Amino acid sequence: MEKRAELYRGKAKTVYATDDASRLILHFRNDTSAFDGQKIEQLDRKGMINNKFNHFIMSKLAEAGIPTQVEALLSDNDSLVKKLDMIPVECVVRNLAAGSLVRRLGVEEGRELTPPTFEFFLKNDALHDPMVNESHIKTFGWATEAQIARMKELTYKVNDVLKALFDKAGLLLVDYKLEFGLFNGEITLGDEITPDGCRLWDKETRKKLDKDRFRQGLGGVVEAYEEVAQRLGMSL
């Protein structure tokens, strides 16, 4: 399948049409952004690593019965995916406190969250992705009650699968963000699951191995992503 017209350029990926109206190509770039696009840098190899990482993780989720948009790895930086009608909300589950939860609620970073928390955010950089609730989602027509329930169900199921997968690699899945869309009316996991959109800490040392290294200027960003990939047994 070949790339045709560029349909959308996001902060880290570009979306292309293909000859099949129901399929798209996601091109993972080296661009790395934080703070709603205010900080952007090119990190060598990051696009390739995230493309392969996303394919690896999405394949594991598909094996566990989660409907995902991913169809095939096409090249180092490109994946073929189903074209989804995206729902403009982000689903975030947290197993340990970090990031905006720590800032908003003043809890200690690293505190275990039992049960894990679930939050919705509106996908809107200009508004800095504000937190929204189910009432907002229904009132503004972003998703129906049944679609909300399904997104929550799938997001929690992803937690079970990925916590176990990362645990075996000596990693803690601190939190993660998912985006869903509709394919033939069915809620389907889209976007990406990579260290750009989740937090992963070493189980013993709690060393950060995700995009917080970039957000916080800690350095070794790509090296950290590579370490995670290698611990998962991925070939890059």
Q: What is the pattern of x (binds ligand TMP, CB under 6 A) and - over residues 88-117?
A: --x-x-----xxxx----------------
Q: Say if CB 89 and CB 120 are below 8 A apart.
A: yes
Q: By CB under 6 A, is residue 41 in contact with ligand ASP?
A: no
> How does DSSP assign 101-151, residue by residue?
HHHHH-PPTT-EEEEEEEEEEE--GGGT--EE-HHHHHHTTSS-HHHHHHH
Closer to ligand ASP by Cβ: residue 21 or 126? 126
Among 83, 91, 147, 175, binds ligand TMP (CB under 6 A): 175
Q: Say if CB 159 and CB 95 are below 8 A apart.
A: yes
Among 6, 20, 36, 145, binds ligand ASP (CB under 6 A): 36
| Tokens encoding 104 | 């908003």
Q: State the nearest-atom distance from the C-beta of 211 to ligand ASP, in Å.
A: 6
Q: Say if CB 131 and CB 121 are below 8 A apart.
A: yes
Among 60, 177, 208, 213, binds ligand TMP (CB under 6 A): 177
Q: State the nearest-atom distance from the C-beta of 54 to ligand TMP, in Å.
A: 13
For ligand ASP, the nearest residue by Cβ is 33
Cα–Cα distance for residue pair 24/179, rounded to 1 Å: 16
Q: Say if CB 138 and CB 148 are below 8 A apart.
A: yes
Which amino acid, 99?
A: G
Q: Is 54 helix (H, G, I), strand (E, B) or coil?
A: helix
Closer to ligand ASP by Cβ: residue 35 or 140? 35
Q: State the nearest-atom distance from the C-beta of 158 to ligand TMP, in Å.
A: 13
The residues that touch ligand TMP, with contacts defined as CB under 6 A, are 90, 92, 98-101, 121, 129, 175-177, 197-199
Provide the binding-site residues for ligand ASP, judged by CB under 6 A.
11, 33-37, 211, 215
